[in-house]
Structure 1
Amino acid sequence: MKKTGMLNSAISKVLPDLGHTDRVVIADIGLPVQTGVTKIDLAITVGNPSFETVVKAVHDDMVVEKVFAAKEIIVENAKQRNFLKKEFPDMVSYVSHEEFKKMVGQAKAVIRTGEATAYSNCILQAGVFF
């Protein structure tokens, strides 16, 4: 039994398989997931687990070189925008929500949280540790 780091077995299987520039999505409960994209559903109840909790846990176990979020988060969800800016200084790029949803189709996995606030989604792009 693993005692530290990412304990969720599905996420623990995805992260080591990521190569440089591969992407993982952390999603709220409303983000559509295209057929063929692996969905890891962590949602238990509305708000649980939160977007922030899941992003932090994944970030602790993943080298991230870039983050994408919908530009609508800037106005519609300042709390999550500020969280992303703090968690990933100088790494966040913004695209339209429609473009974001297209990018989801290219992700290796979507991790669904219980978050129920608008635009609480991000795409984490894998970097390398060397």
Structure 2
Amino acid sequence: MKKTALLNIALSRTIAGLGHGDILVIGDAGLPVPPGVELIDLAVTPGIPDFASVLRVVLAEMQVERHVLAEEIFQAGPPGLAEVEALHGQGLLGQRQRLRHTEFKVLSQRAKAVVRTGECQPYSNIALVAGVTF
């Protein structure tokens, strides 16, 4: 059995298969998943699991070079934004890129997968761009 916190098979397999520059999106319950992009649906009920918890667990296994946020997250100020800022401050999210939400949805078309959380706070979405550990 795995020793790390991530137990979801599909999510663990996806992270293990990422190459440099590949994109993994973690989204709220309302983020549309583009056709052809794998959906890893973790949502159980509103708020479970929450965006911040999923992000922390993903970062335990994924090397991130940069992250992308929609500008609107800064206006809406969902609870998960505080966790994003803390993780960014610790250097765990690499460089930051900001896009309009409509552009973020276009970017998500290039994702290897979209992870749907139970988060019901608007704009609680992040695109993680895989880095390398060497």
TM range (shorter): over 0.9
The separation in 2 between residues aligned to 1:47 and 1:94, in whole angstroms, is 25
The separation in 2 between residues aligned to 1:39 and 1:10, in whole angstroms, is 9
The separation in 2 between residues aligned to 1:45 and 1:34, in whole angstroms, is 22
What is the letter of the counterpart of residue 126 of structure 1? Answer: A
Q: Are 1:120 and 2:124 an aligned pair?
A: yes
The separation in 1 between residues aligned to 2:74 and 2:56, in whole angstroms, is 20
The separation in 1 between residues aligned to 2:22 and 2:7, in whole angstroms, is 21
Unmatched tracts of structure 1, length 5 or more: none
For normalisation by structure 1, the TM-score amounts to 0.94
Shift of 1:52: 0.2
SS at match of 2:60: helix
Shift of 1:5: 3.6
Q: Tell me if the contact between 2:78 and 2:123 (Cα under 8 Å) persists in the aligned partners.
A: no
What is the letter of the counterpart of residue 106 of structure 1? Answer: R
Q: What's the counterpart of residue 4 of structure 1?
A: 4
Percent of pairs with identical residues: 44
Shift of 1:39: 0.2
Q: Tell me if the contact between 1:84 and 1:92 (Cα under 8 Å) persists in the aligned partners.
A: no
Shift of 1:79: 3.3
Q: What's the counterpart of residue 38 of structure 1?
A: 38
What is the letter of the counterpart of residue 18 of structure 2? Answer: L
The separation in 1 between residues aligned to 2:4 and 2:79, in whole angstroms, is 29
Q: Are 1:94 and 2:98 an aligned pair?
A: yes
For normalisation by structure 2, the TM-score amounts to 0.92
Unmatched tracts of structure 2, length 5 or more: none
Aligned length: 130
SS at match of 2:79: helix
Shift of 1:7: 1.2
Change (3 A) 1:78 1:32: closer
Range with greater deviation from structure 2 (32-41 or 86-95): 86-95
Shift of 1:92: 2.4
> RMSD across aligned C-alpha pairs, in angstroms?
1.3
